[in-house]
Structure 1
Amino acid sequence: MSSNTATTTTTTTALVLPDIDKPLLLRQVQLNGPLQDEVLVEIQATGICHTDLSCMNGTLPISSTPAVLGHEGAGIVLSVGTHVQHVNPGDKVLLSINHCGGCVHCSSGHPNYCVEGMPRNFGGGRSSRRLDSDKVEGGSSFAHTIHLVGNDVPSSSSSTATPCFGNFFGQSSFSRLAIVNGSCAVKVPRETDLALFAPLGCGISTGVGCVLNTLDVQPRSTVAVFGAGSVGLAAVMAARLRKADVIIAVDLRETRLELAKNLGATHVICAAKEDVLARINQVTKTDEGVNYAVDCTGVPAVIETMMDCLAIRGRAAQVGIPTPDKTVPVKILQHLLKGQQYVGCAGGDCVAGEMIPYLLTQQKEGKFPLEKMVSYYDVKDHQRAFDDVKSGKVVKAVISWDSLPSCIQ
């Protein structure tokens, strides 16, 4: 069934961030919508991304709390707005970024650089322009997709419901039910394992897309990946897909480096024990360095090392996210004379509707063993999941919502 009633509300359970750097709480919330360009999705699984952690601890600022985050959602469509044509109730979907679809960047195949990207993904609610286009009466309350209700309203609030920072990446999928912008939803086959593939919506696609799209790594080339978390390991697997001759993973944790070797790295460097530049030169058997490099850490000192390891006409891409004030020096003359490049990469510069089916196929054929890095947690054990991610005990944690009541008949 389709939905065109913006004023409908639904009560569900979500993981709510009560304040910056506080533990998430499993609470009852009220959802407003869906609007004409949105879908209501029952979330089956949500990946935990480093961006979620950065917003939770204040490294990346969000405008208000309480907040419902989560942006690697996977679930089943319950209802759709009248402007949504590509998915229907009952479809399985993986969720990715929110984008307008009509600007010069979206229309040319670069939705991660949508001109409305910041308000759509980090604004905390719906824009007034979208509410006006949907002719929503009392639109101010519907600017927020999520409200805390009843006994879950903070004691300092005088109202019966308090708005939450929501609509995160157009989905806020740390919730059993989610109001999702239609642009986020990618239909997948009915046999798709939603828990396994939930991370494709952001972190995994970012690592793969950086190698395939932003850097366009070529066969027989040399690649260095700095940071062997989920994004970096995805980059390692993508370099193997591109048949690079030398794939070097650099990290501080030897357990991560062992996994990197298992996933396709030809060489590993423990930065806590080795001189990274000297080791890269030894591996490449030249003082020239590598053809391609990816930083997945966002640490300025690591980025400097990455730049120093580039060969003549080498290309480096930045996917690790630092705090907004961080900068790195560039050796301008070296950069110029060697024709080197250092570029930013948002979301792997992917079109989710193309990248997700591609990775599903690669995994099915045994060429992209995502299952080797994913660990599963019940939503009621969410604190352990976040603790394990922060400590580095697991690479990619996925929260399952199956223990909560389902709305699917």
Structure 2
Amino acid sequence: MSRSTTALVVPELNGKFELREVYLSEIQPDEVLVEIHASGLCHTDLSFATGVLPCQPGAVLGHEGAGVVLETGSAVSHVAPGDKVLLSFTHCETCPPCTSGHPAYCHSFNTRNMNGRRPDGSAAMYTTSHTNTNEKTPVFSSFFGQSSFARHTLAHRSCVVRIPADADLALYAPLGCGMQTGAGAVLNSLGVRAGSSVAVFGAGSVGMAAIMAAAHVARAAVVIAVDVQPGRLELAKKLGATHTVLASREEGSGGKSSVVERIRELCPPVGVDFAVDCTGVPSVIRDMVDCLGTKGRASTVGAPGFGKEVGIDVMQHLTYGKEYVGCCEGDSLPSKFIPFLMDLHAKGQFPMEEFIQYYDFKDYAKAIDDIHSGKVIKAVLKWS
């Protein structure tokens, strides 16, 4: 039987949200009905809400959900009603990347996570006409297999991770995407080594996760945080950065970059061993690649939107043996990596509470404003 629920909807692709009533379709065998308690608010959600990334009006977004299982489909066996769960990205479970432990590179990742439909093309959510309740309008949903900006949602089994009964759902909600992306970029995609040097561009929540992973897990000797906000750089030092570089908002325009020069001064003679870009800004990505030293390795985790390109100095890239690699979701296997990050947090090595701010779902507009203004690093919405 379908049910109605309250969801945060994007009526138009202008970045504005509204709380509205939507309906859930019948649960499918490979789905889990989850009562959402909290959901992280990610820049990716805001990019879809403005149409920077492909979306449709009336969408229900959200991809860092945390809640309690209410019902499971017949093909779900790893969770049961009453379990606390975190929601991450969805994957097909059968293609070579999925079966080899790299589901972030699932052959159908984009269509399954960003297409607004279930894999079979149906909609997990819909609205009805005020005059005819039998007239159903599909809603852009199943976002990252979950659409967690709703009080109740249908999540694909592949993105559902069971966590301990005493776990704080609101605190751990961001592990489903942002935190595992930043930490995974350092530990999985780049393979940062003990004693090496790392530069992290963008000290938002993803960047902070990368900094903590580099400092406390990979044991890098030099961890450089780069950002335009002094307050974030101060926090980055508290969380493990050994050095900070304050960039101007005009930095990386294609000319000579003071950020690159400063990083080379900190890691002579030519630059860092590893670098991560968490901004998705093409000019910053260029700076990141330029600051790499001999056989340096860099990766971008920010989402600039499809079609964006970055120019590379080919001779410098070749003669220094640099690598620029892709990184989706930190190349993580959520069922293993999320518990790993929770264990790090319990040991005091991943203090994500230092930069999380909680908001009631009804205060979503303030949360978004605080993100845009830089007042808050990571916002988490909670249902009262």
Normalising by structure 1, report the TM-score. Answer: 0.89
- The correspondence for 1:196, drawn from 171, 179, 186, is 171
Counterpart Cα distance in 1 of 2:144 and 2:35:
16
* Per-residue deviation, 1:392: 1.2
Is 2:187 the counterpart of 1:216? no
Q: What are the Cα deviations for residues 359-387 of structure 1, in whole angstroms up to 9, with x where unaligned?
A: 11110111110100110000111110111
Matching of residues 74-89 of structure 1 within 5 Å:
74-89=66-81
* Per-residue deviation, 1:272: 1.6
- The correspondence for 1:287, drawn from 269, 292, 302, is 269
Q: What are the Cα deviations for residues 117-175 of structure 1, in whole angstroms up to 9, with x where unaligned?
A: 112111111233xx7xxxxxxxxxxx111112354x9xxx9974322100000100000
Counterpart Cα distance in 1 of 2:161 and 2:205:
21
Matching of residues 312-323 of structure 1 within 5 Å:
312-323=294-305
What SS is found at the alignment partner of 2:174?
helix
Two-structure CA RMSD over aligned residues (Å) = 1.6
- The correspondence for 1:334, drawn from 313, 316, 338, is 316
1:28–1:149 contact (8 Å) kept in structure 2: no
Counterpart Cα distance in 2 of 1:245 and 1:41:
42
* Per-residue deviation, 1:330: 1.4
Counterpart Cα distance in 1 of 2:295 and 2:154:
45
Is 2:239 the counterpart of 1:263? yes
Residue 37 of structure 2 aligns with which residue? 44
Counterpart Cα distance in 1 of 2:174 and 2:135:
35
AA matched with 1:146: M
AA matched with 1:384: K
* Per-residue deviation, 1:282: 2.0
Count of residues paired in the alignment:
376
* Per-residue deviation, 1:318: 1.0
AA matched with 1:10: R
Counterpart Cα distance in 2 of 1:218 and 1:256:
25
Unaligned runs of 5+ in 1: 1-7, 132-142, 404-409
Q: What are the Cα deviations for residues 78-129 of structure 1, in whole angstroms up to 9, with x where unaligned?
A: 000010110000000000011011110000111011112112111111233x
- The correspondence for 1:309, drawn from 273, 291, 307, is 291
Counterpart Cα distance in 2 of 1:39 and 1:123:
19
- The correspondence for 1:377, drawn from 353, 359, 379, is 359
2:7–2:21 contact (8 Å) kept in structure 1: yes
- The correspondence for 2:159, drawn from 184, 192, 197, is 184
AA matched with 2:68: I
AA matched with 1:49: C
Counterpart Cα distance in 2 of 1:118 and 1:342:
21
What SS is found at the alignment partner of 1:209?
helix
What SS is found at the alignment partner of 2:294?
strand
What SS is found at the alignment partner of 1:333?
helix
Is 2:211 the counterpart of 1:236? yes
Is 2:119 the counterpart of 1:127? yes
Normalising by structure 2, report the TM-score. Answer: 0.95
What SS is found at the alignment partner of 1:100?
coil
Q: What are the Cα deviations for residues 152-206 of structure 1, in whole angstroms up to 9, with x where unaligned?
A: x9xxx99743221000001000000000000010000001100000000001100
- The correspondence for 2:17, drawn from 8, 24, 27, is 24
1:43–1:176 contact (8 Å) kept in structure 2: yes
Unaligned runs of 5+ in 2: 250-256
